[in-house]
Structure 1
Amino acid sequence: MNLTPAQRNQLRKRAAIEAAAASPAISMEGATTYELQLGQLAQDRLRLKNIQGTESKVELKKQLLPAYLPYVQGVLAAGNGAQDEVLTTMMTWHIDIADYTGAIEIAAYVLKHKLVMPDRFARTTGCFIAEEVATAALNANKLGHSFSLETLVSVEQLTATEDMPDQARAKLHLALGKQYAGLPVDDKPAETDFDNFYTAKQHLTRAIELHANCGGKKDLERVDRYLKKYAAQQNAS
């Protein structure tokens, strides 16, 4: 569904008006723009269901997402927190296509208003966003690829008070620990390097406390060796 700039602007305005009028105690069900988006989503889900390959599904979602963006922008700008399956689904799609900035923007609204995930998801919103982003970061780490530390920090802050299994939170701390420990280090340990490794130690220690078999023990040992090296350098100077 290709929209002109004028159509996108009108869709965003209508979504904002309807979202502002909807009570937080109910859902967006019955609102004209929401129902149209929900109908489009049903069609797009059928298209996705007929595709078996994960990479192909991701590519299709990249093509489909822009059509929902004006609606999402309108709801985020003016919504009162009415239950919204289109919005929560778009949050998951943003994660699927690795647009974590877009996912976090929606997640902040979803968590603030305590929206529930679509029925097919067993996890709560906080658990979902924390675990999915952490998993993506850990997978990138294994492959030697970069991942945004800012994204992980934002997710940690966003989900700090959310209820989730210890293993899920441990995964997020593990990802943060590995990310801080993987930041570039000067040939001679510097104070900024120490700060990063000290922060890495805090996250790795917490990950192990929450889940002993999280896989962070070797990383913690390496971080401890570095911190001892830094301490020895400071004592010698």
Structure 2
Amino acid sequence: MADSPAKRHLQRQLAAKAASKAAGHQLMPGTGIYEQMLLQLASDRARLKNIQSTTAKCQLKAELLPAYGPYLDGVLAEGNGAADEVVTTAMLWHIDAGSYVEAMRLAEYVLRHNLPMPDRFERTTGTVVAEEVADAALNALRSGAEFDASILQQACALTDDQDMPDQVRAKLLLSRARWIMHDLAEAEAAAGGEPPHDAIELTTTAVEALRRAIQLHDGCGGKTDLGKAESRLKKYTDSANS
């Protein structure tokens, strides 16, 4: 059957029904819609394996992901946290494809239910979410690409209670602080040098994140950032007090 609104609606209903019956930490039922999605996933992975370019892989993932949408909607609507390789893989693919809002929606479900990553991953789920988002944000900053800093805030909140290497959490905190300061500088420049009303609050958040990052991993690379952020914070507070 060709893709159609009716087919997508049916997929969502089947996924919701299957997910509601699967108990937490068990696999989704090995028949029906989950089996179909696993077959689709295997086929799509084979296509990706034949591509060497990382950029091209990410572009293909963006093209492939809509086909999983109805299934993912159904699972998140009714799921009880059954282990689901389709959900965890789609979460990572959305990060790779740059669709971070959807990635965080899936990450909230995955982390809330402590879903395991596929066997080929050695990192824990919380580590994967924190590191992949941090790397994407830092890469965007280096390349001058756009990135929504609120995604970093969500990633920090979602992974706050997750066990992970200190270096990974430091990287996530560093990336959040750098984007806060970047966006703050952009807003100030756009306003002719006038800082936004929440400049002190934002800079304080960045300073705290940088201090924590350095405490966790002294070699995280945030010491220069911290010095600049502290100077900026002093400038804002002095201006406010005067």
TM-score, length of structure 2 as denominator length: 0.92
Answering whether residue 207 of structure 2 is matched by residue 201 of structure 1, we say yes
Q: Deviations over 1:85-119 (max 9, x none)?
A: 11111111111101111111111111111110011
Q: How does 1:175-214 map to 2 (within 5 A)?
A: 175-182=175-182, 183=184, 184-185=187-188, 187-188=193-194, 192-214=198-220
Structure 1 distance, partners of 2:146, 2:47, is 32
| Paired residues of 1:2 and 1:67 also in contact (CA < 8 A) | no
Which 4+ runs in 1 deviate beyond 6 A? none
Q: How does 1:94-133 map to 2 (within 5 A)?
A: 94-133=94-133
Structure 1 distance, partners of 2:150, 2:238, is 31
Cross-structure match for 1:78: 78
| Alpha-carbon shift at residue 37 of structure 1 (Å) | 0.8
Equivalenced residue count is: 236
Structure 1 distance, partners of 2:25, 2:57, is 34
| Paired residues of 1:127 and 1:168 also in contact (CA < 8 A) | yes
| Paired residues of 1:18 and 1:31 also in contact (CA < 8 A) | no
* Counterparts in 2 of 1:234 and 1:65: CA distance versus 1, 3 Å: closer
Structure 2 distance, partners of 1:223, 1:59, is 36
State the one-letter code of the partner of 1:192. D
The percentage of aligned residue pairs carrying the same residue is 50
Answering whether residue 47 of structure 2 is matched by residue 47 of structure 1, we say yes
Task: For structure 1, list consecutive stretches of 5 or more residues without a partner in the other structure.
Answer: none
Q: How does 1:1-237 map to 2 (within 5 A)?
A: 2-182=2-182, 183=184, 184-185=187-188, 187-188=193-194, 192-235=198-241, 237=242
Aligned alpha-carbon RMSD (Å):
1.6
Task: For structure 2, list consecutive stretches of 5 or more residues without a partner in the other structure.
Answer: none
